[in-house]
Amino acid sequence: QVQLQESGPGLVKPSETLSLTCTVSGHSISPYYWSWIRQPPGKGLEWIGYIYDSGSTNYNPSLKSRVTISVDTSKNQFSLKLSSVTAADTAVYYCARNYCNDGACYPAAFDIWGQGTMVTVSS
């Protein structure tokens, strides 16, 4: 059974870099798409970006200048870095894996999710 677990600081100061890690258990990182998605308190979902298999990435253009997603296959982990954070970046951050079935994979279908981790940006 595949499980995802986010970890990282729950409080980040404005202008600093938010760093989160998602640890994958029950399956190897390959060959799926691994995404970060966030949800501000009381609001909807926002896709941040993904990393695929060997390390190719795709980011939401609205965040692209501040986002880096990387993978450490030896630890079965992938990570998110979001720089120059402001209060608007306060949210629950989820990591997620895409859905594959019968040999077909759907990069945009987020099938397995972590429980989410709340990150507050405040001084």
Partner 1 sequence: QSVLTQPPSVSGAPGQRVTISCTGTGSNIGAGYDVYWYQQVLGTAPKLLIYADANRPSGVPDRFSGSKSGTSASLAISGLQAEDEADYYCQSYDTSLSAWVFGGGTKLTVL
Please identify, using beta-carbon distances, which residue of 76 and 113 lies nearer to partner 1. Answer: 113
Q: Which residue, 8 or 116, has its beta carbon nearer to partner 1?
A: 116
Question: Which residues make up the interface to partner 1 (CB under 8 A)?
Answer: 44-47, 60-62, 94, 96, 99, 101, 106, 108-111, 113-116
State which residue, 53 or 111, has the beta carbon closest to partner 1: 111
* E strands, 1-123, in order: 3-7, 11-12, 18-25, 33-39, 46-52, 56-59, 67-72, 77-82, 91-101, 104-113, 117-121
Burial class (CB in 10 A: 0-12, 13-18, 19+), 31: exposed
38 backbone dihedrals φ, ψ, rounded to 5° = -130, 160
Query: Is the Cβ of residue 68 or residue 73 nearer to partner 1 in the bound state?
Result: 68
CB of 85 to partner 1, least distance (A): 20
Task: Provide the minimum distance between the beta carbon of 94 and partner 1 in the complex, in angstroms, as a whole number.
Answer: 6
Closest approach, Cβ 74 to partner 1, in A, equals 26
